[in-house]
Amino acid sequence: MLEYRLAELCAHRALELAHGVHCVDLRPFGLTLTVPGLQPDVSAPPFPVDDARPPDDEARPPDDEARPSTSADPTPRQPPCDAVQRVRSIAHQRSAMEARLLGAAQDLTAEIGAALLADKGYADVDELTPARRRKWAETKRLACAELQVALGLGVREARQLVGVACAPAPVRTVVAEALETGLASWGHVRAFWERCGTLPADEAPLVSESLFGADPDLAVPERLAPDGTLLDRPWHQAEFWAALEREAVRVEGQDVLAERERRHRARAERRVWMRVDDDSTATLAVTGPLTSVCAISQRIDACAKALRKSGDERTLAQLRSDVAQTLLLHGRLDLPGRAEGTLTTPPTGRTLPTGPTGDPLLTPAESEAVAQIVTAQPSITLEVVVPFDALTGQPACT
């Protein structure tokens, strides 16, 4: 383990080292550590191998050589290793409290469910029919509402908390143990549930065991030491995200039909949404098939680079945004023709020359109907309502 020898180095070499430098004596191993600005003392005898650190009376300089304490520095500086250890200890306690919070959320959901059963005239969940069990989402909804009020959480985080608390027993047990030991934090658990919460009940435990379990044979390589044992340290964020995505894809790929259905469902849920920001800007997001979105991004990027190459002073990021806005606001689409290079215009049936038709891998389905609507759509007219007080600078009513 690395030891901090800041006091010894300052006393023997009279040099102020940067706070947090790791110094370790390597002479028992036949090595020499060279510090910039210091000349190695070859005459000093090496420390014994069984006691690499010198005795306290040898390490401590004489009283007359010690640096006197001043009013600006009344107490000796605490080694950084103690502060790091204190941070780790507090983080460990925080994770343990988050595990207890999960248990409390589970108890809350169970109590709400028991109250609802009693209100409906049932004594146990087993008395419900399969159809009623599938519709029994009111319990989680009420539990989320209670957590939002009690903890001030948003809807999404409250749902994730209730979801993990009500997860299958293998997942819930492994996650709680990971929080208790400090291996994971609530951020890791949230990411896991957001990615794997929709997996079947027999597949989600496989991912949780590899990420949070205590069995080295099932753990991911990022958690293993060279000798095959589990590392005694918390998850690193980048490693966790990579392992999470890899394990989730591996589990999903085991069932080909289920994976195909998941991809069809994801395509069916394509959408466009807008978020209004508080700095007079807004964000527009589009989800769709991978090929189409990649082609869109490549086309916008090519237009931006061409403008930049021609001498436009705007940055590439600004040009990408401006190109996309211009295309969406004022762009027109050539109607796909019956044959390549032609355009059939209804209702006259005239055929006009056009460019080649779009690639079916890139063009969305039913693009002909979309092209007709977009081409016939007039330019947008935006009406901005401004309060009269903002224009005059005076209240309208006094």
What is 103-143 written as a DSSP string? Answer: HHHHHHHHHHHHHHHHHHT-SSGGGS-HHHHHT--HHHHHH
Q: In this model, does residue 141 exceed pLDDT 50?
A: yes
Q: So what's the pLDDT on residue 266?
A: 85
Measured CA to CA, the distance from residue 35 to residue 40 in angstroms comes to 8
pLDDT tens across 265-289, in order? 888 889 999 999 888 899 999 999 8
pLDDT tens across 293-345, in order? 888 888 889 889 988 898 888 899 999 999 888 888 877 766 555 444 444 44
pLDDT band at 101 (very low <50, low <70, confident <90, very high): very high
Percent of the chain whose predicted confidence (pLDDT) is above 70: 63
Distances (CA, A) of 77 to 7, 9, 61, 67, 397: 9, 14, 17, 13, 65
Q: In this model, does residue 360 exceed pLDDT 70?
A: no
Q: In this model, does residue 170 exceed pLDDT 50?
A: yes
Q: What is the mean pLDDT of residues 336-364?
A: 50
Q: What is the mean pLDDT of residues 202-221?
A: 91
pLDDT band at 45 (very low <50, low <70, confident <90, very high): very low
pLDDT tens across 70-84, in order? 445 555 565 677 888
Q: What is the mean pLDDT of residues 26-32?
A: 50
If one counts every other C-beta atom within 10 angstroms of the C-beta of residue 5, the result is 19
Find the Cα–Cα–Cα–Cα dihedral 85, 87, 90, 91, rounded to 10°: -110
* Residue of higher predicted confidence among 132 and 212: 212
Q: In this model, does residue 50 exceed pLDDT 50?
A: no
Q: What is the mean pLDDT of residues 2-21?
A: 42
Q: So what's the pLDDT on residue 185?
A: 93
Q: What is the mean pLDDT of residues 26-34?
A: 49
Q: Say if residue 362 is exposed, middle or buried (CB neighbours under 10 Å; 0-12, 13-18, 19+).
A: middle
Q: In this model, does residue 9 exceed pLDDT 80?
A: no
pLDDT tens across 149-160, in order? 999 999 999 999
Q: So what's the pLDDT on residue 84?
A: 87
Measured CA to CA, the distance from residue 172 to residue 178 in angstroms comes to 10
Top mean-pLDDT range of 35-39, 253-257, 282-286, 338-342: 282-286
On average, the pLDDT of the chain sits at: 75
pLDDT tens across 103-123, in order? 999 999 988 888 887 777 776
Nearest to 302 by CA among 327, 284, 283: 327
Q: So what's the pLDDT on residue 260?
A: 80
* Residue of higher predicted confidence among 282 and 291: 282
Which residue do the tokens 């006091």 mark? 7
Q: What is the mean pLDDT of residues 206-233?
A: 91
Measured CA to CA, the distance from residue 364 to residue 375 in angstroms comes to 16
Q: In this model, does residue 225 exceed pLDDT 70?
A: yes
Instruction: Give the range among 63-77, 100-114, 169-183 with minimum mean pLDDT.
Output: 63-77
* Residue of higher predicted confidence among 28 and 388: 388
Q: What is the mean pLDDT of residues 173-192?
A: 94
Q: So what's the pLDDT on residue 388?
A: 76
Q: So what's the pLDDT on residue 79?
A: 66
Q: What is the mean pLDDT of residues 55-70?
A: 49
Q: So what's the pLDDT on residue 184?
A: 94
DSSP H or E segment with residue 367: helix 367-376
Q: So what's the pLDDT on residue 312?
A: 87
